[in-house]
Structure 1
Amino acid sequence: MVGFVRKLSLAWCLVVISVGLIGPAHAASPDPSLAAKINAATFEVVIPKEVNDPLIYEKPLPLDLLPYQERTDKYFSVGTAFSLGNNRYVTAGHVLMVGIGDLTGPPALRDANGHVYAIDKILKFSLQQDFVMFSLKEQPGNVSLDTNIKPAVNSVVYAVGNALGTGVVIRDGLYTSDTPEEENGRWKWMRFSAAASPGNSGGPLLDQDGKVIGVVLMKSANENLNYALPISEVLNAPDKLAVMDKRMSYQLDVLDYDQNGNFKAQFPLPKSYDDFSATYLKLQNAYNEQQLKALLQQQAGDLFPHGAGSRQILHDTPELSLFPELIVHNRSGQWGYAGRELNRVPLSGNGYVASGYVGHNFLMHLRRPDDMKASVFYGDPKAMMDLVLKTGYWYRQVGPEKIKITSMGKPTTDTTYTDSWQRHWKVFIWPQPHINGEVVVFALPVTDGYAIMMRINPSMVTHDSLIDMKALTDFFNVDYGGTLAQWKEFLSDKSLLPEVLKDTHIDFDYGKRFGYDSSSINFSYPASLQTIGPDNLLSVGVGYYQKNDKFVLEAGYVQIRLNNTDPDRISIRRHVAPSADLDDNYKQNWGKLLHKQHPYDGVAYNDGDEMDIASVIDAPANDAPAELYTAFYGTQGTHKPEDMKAKLDLITQQFKLKSH
């Protein structure tokens, strides 16, 4: 599509078409009187720029770097429209839809003298044919274009439009051929060789007499030709009706297949632009919700944690991954973890922002700086986002410069969402008026900060992002870890806790003892085993376990490290008996557990420059237990085997397995 849209400076870009190529030069230009008529009947489609920018930047925006017209214009130019007379104006549907959900104001028309005309009513609309007819509240004049519904192939044509947003131009070429519409050939597109640049969308395609034969819409992806909708399709379309009948695909980032369907609906016109936009969005949002529901229902039997492809994750010990991941389905039919830390930016007070991505989603682990109070961090979304912005990833492009955004202020949306695993998310939306976009953030409180899923999207599709991201929370995997000091603060605020940690009690007395008590296990040890201080690192890996006919999130791996650099560590791990269809690696490891074979035999061994020891705790007498627990102790250097065994005994002797 050939619409000229505002430049975007973040990770996404609302692009409507790439630039077409210059058409043949042999056709004559229209005579001056005809050119004057064409210009008088052709208009820019514009959207107002933001007046009050909610963003704060590292320095004043150097707007003097922009071309004079761009920096002084109060509007963004997004396309072209033309007059057919009797207060009827036509443009491409996608041009007017750029303004749906716009954060700065509705689209309008602007003539060559700079006068702006407000849209009054939407009169006709077709999503599939990509056109809209509308009226204006104030009439620009009496000049309009005549139509020709039977143009001749290979005749001279003129493509008229607001090329590159710098004013209406007339360029010549040939009407070369027709080609059927892609879905089922309901009509034929006109193909022409006249140049069409971004901004031409919605402009008229004229014959050599200046009569409208089509509406310029898009560029061919594979050849040097552009496409127009025959004007007869606009004229013959039903009056006073908006029609949606278009094939669309719905995709969720964790699945390797799409849900295909037809967005089919209609509603009566005329309507004001605001009412039209609201009605259209309501129908589109309902359709997308239906598609998402159908996609999930269709695959319900195989969606994680159901189906054979889930069994590896269900039988693996949690990874102790503090960086968030999505559980995704691959083409081999298996579910696995996707997402890894690609970059890390340090913050003050030992804080940092680690980032990566999966599909359309930024994934982040934001560690709270030690010098920021937990109440401020978890209670003030502005403060949280200001920390994320310290990465410098978010900026506004002004000419050749990238000006960092340092604050987005308070979000316009601040709500909560509870996923199926009973984790409580904070949901925030920040507007970005300069790109007509919004930042959508799902922030899950974790022990040392937030695990974050984020999108930056056109405001028109924010609803789609919200329903997508709510669905994705059920496939979001992250473990919990932090210092004992952080755990103390985190567990004290019950509103932050997921269900898996609601019954977890951590009891410690610095320099004396440590105790861990959950709904599954209880253990403790004295400071003679490991020094106990506020900088000890406690990590709780949560896994997915089946209980009768339900799947629940429970702790499966508890590890306490002396600090971030010392390898001295203690851990308790939960192991699940493998199902019959798992490979031999699972079964062999389970056999070692059942028979207390190395490394689970309670005998110390060297592993590089450290010494380790592990044992199965209270292995049952029968040969078919559903679960087993192991205790582990590792420390740097070489130590006497009997001393290592005594250390391990300090863990196992105080371990209690509760009934499940």
Structure 2
Amino acid sequence: MRTLNGQALKAVSRTCGLLRRLALWSVVLAMSVTQHAHAASPDPSLVSKINAATFEVVIPRAVDDPLTYEKPLPLDLLPYQERTDKYFSVGTAFAIGHNRYVTAGHVLLAAVGDLTGPPALRDASGHVYAIDKVQKFSLQQDFVMFSLKEQPNGNAALETNAKAAMNSVVYAVGNALGTGVVIRDGLYTSDTPEDENGRWKWMRFSAAASPGNSGGPLLDQDGKVIGVVLMKSPNENLNYALPIGEVLNASDNLAVMDKRESYQLDIIEDDQNGTLKAQFPLPASYDDFSATYLKLLNRNSEDLLKALLQQQGNELFPHGAGSNHILHDAPELSLFPELIVRNRSGQWVYSGRELNRVPLSGNGYVASGYVGHTFLMHLRRPDDMKAATFYNDPKQMMDLVLKTGYWTRQVGPEKVKIVSMGKPATDVSYTDSWQRHWKAFVWSLPYINAQMVVFALPTPDGYSIMMRLSPSVVTHDSVIDMKALTDFLNVDYGGTLAQWKEFLANSSLLPDVLKDARIDVDYGKRFSYDSSNIAFSYPVTLQPIASENLLAVGVGYYEKHGKFALQTGIVQLRLNITDPDRISVRRHTAPSPDLDDNFKEAWGKLLHKQHPFDGVPYNDGDEMDVATVIDPPAGDAPSELYTAFYATQGTHKPEDMKAKLKLLTQEFKVKSP
């Protein structure tokens, strides 16, 4: 995801349960209240002119809400102005000539990708003026000049002064989030070069600035504009403005984007740095301007992500340090999804674990955790929910996820649970490099100008899910991020035999790793498994065979002829969720020379059928186990071996355990590669 600057990171507000708290439209603010001791004010004759030439920048509030809540929203808990205002106040703008208006670039950009409508100006009487054309824009200097479709009465404008004197009295003017124009005094204290390469100097001033001041004018003692108020110093009680001369001298009819950007992916700590460098002609309508800006921004994110992955090259999993440990370890059989990430030691490891589980009806549940910016979930569908409906109804899937109660809407002091997001705004399919078929959804939350991006991988018992809540302007970033992350998400497959039967019947859901596996179940009689690598079957005398039996298939990463593919690494069957009795068939790969002695010792035990793979039953706590190595096809030294394992509760006669193992292995076949 593109590493946003502080202004853009604050583009959305409020709480969605366990998700990050997003400050309501404070993107357009980037400042906190500063204490100020002066009480001076401009000459009274200037105040009315300043007020007439200064405007609030507003964005429409959502009219239609696609969300459903657990109860009617208690809007009476909101302050009167907030619950009655049809607009969000996002900043300040001012007039500097006939139909020429200026504000901070980030104020206008707050509406790029907005879900409710374009920004506009509002005067003190409440009249709203639509933007006509964007005339000048600089992303790096953070300003925009534009015209209005309708001119305010009087056409008041502020004069400009491009040669302000240091240490002179200044006035910061801002429309404090809809509460009216506020004028506060201070001193123009100093200049400081912009961070990248000192192309211009920011003005620093001590006049207080509050939420909503961004984009407002910084005035000299005569009421002339000397700068555009932009941001607060991160480490001192001073605010920053762009000198008005930079705005006046900027190229006419041109949008300029020339700014350092950084991109980071959750699986890698390294950032990819680059420069967003582009220009496009103006004037343009706000819709055309924002569409072009967003297109260039998204293309830059794609380029940075591509460069990041290319720069990592052959160090990306399944290559790079630590990869061989994962490649030679048996799958963990965790039904909770895990990301394969590179840790601080530079080793590829599994990351992500179940942190919370919320039960649903009919044995369903939602297990959740997270890695970096990405929420991970395993949704186990309720038994009474038909697969055909479940896999084709994203609303129903998300309604189940929302039953966790994590997602809420803050209304005053109260949090109201969201119980449905309705149908997604986007519903597409995506196939990752491992040939797994994902469902990608985007839901809109207009009240916070955010979107929920969900990548859901069908499994026999439900879905493995990646999820992000993003400001709408960076939804594209989340989508391309999550597409890249699918190649690093480890998912095993599990469910009851009944669920597997429904899942396997829908070929569109099946990943390539399961397409070559044939699973035949004759309840009360026999279970059979047949794939390109192995085949085995066993009768009911080994283990009861019923619809509630659990089948888990763990997949691993295997190399063949220089290419890697997902293949089955372990097949395990259990009676049910509470009974630990189990049957396991596991695949083992000969260790590469760089692996430690533990891998080599374990492989030696397999080659020589040493304990615990010698077919001799043994006690392990309160259960009894027996395992053996399946003889490989005749030929050279094997590069992989299979083991068969049986475990049951209590203590049993050794001959009975050996008989059970024989039932499992007597029809076992390892196929030649």
Q: TM-score, normalised by structure 1?
A: 0.98
> What is residue 8 of structure 1 aligned with on the other side?
14
> What is residue 127 of structure 1 aligned with on the other side?
139
Q: Find the partner of 2:65 among 53, 72, 81.
A: 53
Structure 1 portions without partners, runs of 5+: none
Task: Judge conservation of contact 2:381–2:461 (CA < 8 Å) in 1.
Answer: yes
Q: Distance in 2 between matches of 1:576 and 1:168?
A: 72
Question: 1:238 and 1:87, CA in 2 relative to 1: closer, same or farther beyond 3 A?
Answer: same
Structure 1 window deviating more from structure 2 (577-586 vs 614-623): it is 614-623
> What is residue 202 of structure 1 aligned with on the other side?
215
Q: Distance in 1 between matches of 2:493 and 2:12?
A: 42
Q: What one-letter code is carried by the residue in structure 2 that aligns with 1:86? A: H
**Residue 579 (structure 2) pairs with residue 573 (structure 1):** no
> What is residue 671 of structure 2 aligned with on the other side?
658
List per-residue Cα deviations over 1:127-180 (Å, max 9, x = no partner): 001110000001113211111111112111111112244222111111111111
Secondary structure in 2 matching 1:384: helix
Q: What one-letter code is carried by the residue in structure 1 that aligns with 2:304? A: Q
Alignment of 1:196-345 (within 5 A): 196-345=209-358
List per-residue Cα deviations over 1:189-216 (Å, max 9, x = no partner): 1111111122111011111111111111
> What is residue 203 of structure 2 aligned with on the other side?
190
Q: Find the partner of 2:119 among 102, 107, 112.
A: 107
Question: 1:23 and 1:212, CA in 2 relative to 1: closer, same or farther beyond 3 A?
Answer: farther
Q: Distance in 2 between matches of 1:197 and 1:659?
A: 73
Task: Judge conservation of contact 1:519–1:658 (CA < 8 Å) in 2.
Answer: yes
Question: 1:300 and 1:251, CA in 2 relative to 1: closer, same or farther beyond 3 A?
Answer: same
1:18 positional shift: 5.5
Alignment of 1:74-473 (within 5 A): 74-140=86-152, 141-473=154-486
Secondary structure in 1 matching 2:315: coil
1:462 positional shift: 1.1
1:123 positional shift: 0.3
Secondary structure in 2 matching 1:245: strand
List per-residue Cα deviations over 1:20-40 (Å, max 9, x = no partner): 343542351112221111111
Q: What one-letter code is carried by the residue in structure 1 that aligns with 2:113? A: G
1:553 positional shift: 0.3
**Residue 47 (structure 2) pairs with residue 35 (structure 1):** yes
1:301 positional shift: 0.7
Q: Find the partner of 1:603 among 616, 638, 642.
A: 616
Alignment of 1:542-553 (within 5 A): 542-553=555-566
> What is residue 557 of structure 1 aligned with on the other side?
570
Question: 1:23 and 1:233, CA in 2 relative to 1: closer, same or farther beyond 3 A?
Answer: farther
Q: Distance in 2 between matches of 1:24 and 1:331?
A: 45
1:621 positional shift: 7.0
Q: Distance in 2 between matches of 1:105 and 1:164?
A: 18
Task: Judge conservation of contact 2:33–2:211 (CA < 8 Å) in 1.
Answer: no
Alignment of 1:472-621 (within 5 A): 472-619=485-632
Secondary structure in 2 matching 1:460: helix
Q: What one-letter code is carried by the residue in structure 1 that aligns with 2:37? A: A
List per-residue Cα deviations over 1:531-564 (Å, max 9, x = no partner): 1111110000000000111100000010001111
Q: Distance in 1 between matches of 2:159 and 2:382?
A: 67
Q: What one-letter code is carried by the residue in structure 2 that aligns with 1:580? A: P
Q: What one-letter code is carried by the residue in structure 2 that aligns with 1:188? A: K
Q: Distance in 1 between matches of 2:533 and 2:294?
A: 48
Q: What one-letter code is carried by the residue in structure 2 that aligns with 1:567? A: P
List per-residue Cα deviations over 1:245-280 (Å, max 9, x = no partner): 000111111111011110000000000000001111
Secondary structure in 1 matching 2:521: strand
Q: What one-letter code is carried by the residue in structure 2 that aligns with 1:227? A: Y
Q: Distance in 1 between matches of 2:297 and 2:172?
A: 32
Task: Judge conservation of contact 1:244–1:263 (CA < 8 Å) in 2.
Answer: yes
Task: Judge conservation of contact 1:5–1:79 (CA < 8 Å) in 2.
Answer: no
Q: Find the partner of 2:37 among 4, 25, 32.
A: 25
Q: Distance in 2 between matches of 1:570 and 1:479?
A: 17
Q: What one-letter code is carried by the residue in structure 1 that aligns with 2:352? A: G
List per-residue Cα deviations over 1:262-306 (Å, max 9, x = no partner): 000000000000000111111111111111111111112111112
Q: Distance in 2 between matches of 1:372 and 1:5?
A: 38
1:620 positional shift: 6.4
Q: What one-letter code is carried by the residue in structure 1 that aligns with 2:269? A: D
Task: Judge conservation of contact 2:130–2:149 (CA < 8 Å) in 1.
Answer: yes
Task: Judge conservation of contact 1:594–1:619 (CA < 8 Å) in 2.
Answer: no
Task: Judge conservation of contact 2:11–2:471 (CA < 8 Å) in 1.
Answer: no
1:7 positional shift: 3.4
List per-residue Cα deviations over 1:464-502 (Å, max 9, x = no partner): 111111111100111000000100010011111101111
Q: Distance in 2 between matches of 1:32 and 1:654?
A: 98
Q: Distance in 2 between matches of 1:624 and 1:68?
A: 80
Q: What one-letter code is carried by the residue in structure 1 that aligns with 2:15? A: S
Question: 1:51 and 1:26, CA in 2 relative to 1: closer, same or farther beyond 3 A?
Answer: closer
1:236 positional shift: 0.8
Secondary structure in 2 matching 1:379: coil
Task: Judge conservation of contact 1:491–1:497 (CA < 8 Å) in 2.
Answer: yes
Q: Distance in 1 between matches of 2:124 and 2:7?
A: 20
Task: Judge conservation of contact 2:34–2:210 (CA < 8 Å) in 1.
Answer: no
List per-residue Cα deviations over 1:365-420 (Å, max 9, x = no partner): 01010111111100111111111111111111111111111111111111100001
Task: Judge conservation of contact 2:365–2:380 (CA < 8 Å) in 1.
Answer: yes
1:5 positional shift: 6.4
Question: 1:2 and 1:383, CA in 2 relative to 1: closer, same or farther beyond 3 A?
Answer: closer
Q: What one-letter code is carried by the residue in structure 2 that aligns with 1:530? A: Q
Question: 1:218 and 1:19, CA in 2 relative to 1: closer, same or farther beyond 3 A?
Answer: closer
Secondary structure in 1 matching 2:322: helix
Task: Judge conservation of contact 2:136–2:254 (CA < 8 Å) in 1.
Answer: yes
Q: TM-score, normalised by structure 2?
A: 0.96
Structure 1 window deviating more from structure 2 (108-117 vs 599-608): it is 599-608
Structure 1 window deviating more from structure 2 (531-540 vs 298-307): it is 298-307
Question: 1:623 and 1:222, CA in 2 relative to 1: closer, same or farther beyond 3 A?
Answer: farther
State the Cα RMSD in Å: 1.5
| Identity percentage of aligned residues | 78
Task: Judge conservation of contact 2:137–2:256 (CA < 8 Å) in 1.
Answer: yes
List per-residue Cα deviations over 1:441-476 (Å, max 9, x = no partner): 111000100001111111111111111111111001
Q: Distance in 2 between matches of 1:464 and 1:2?
A: 17
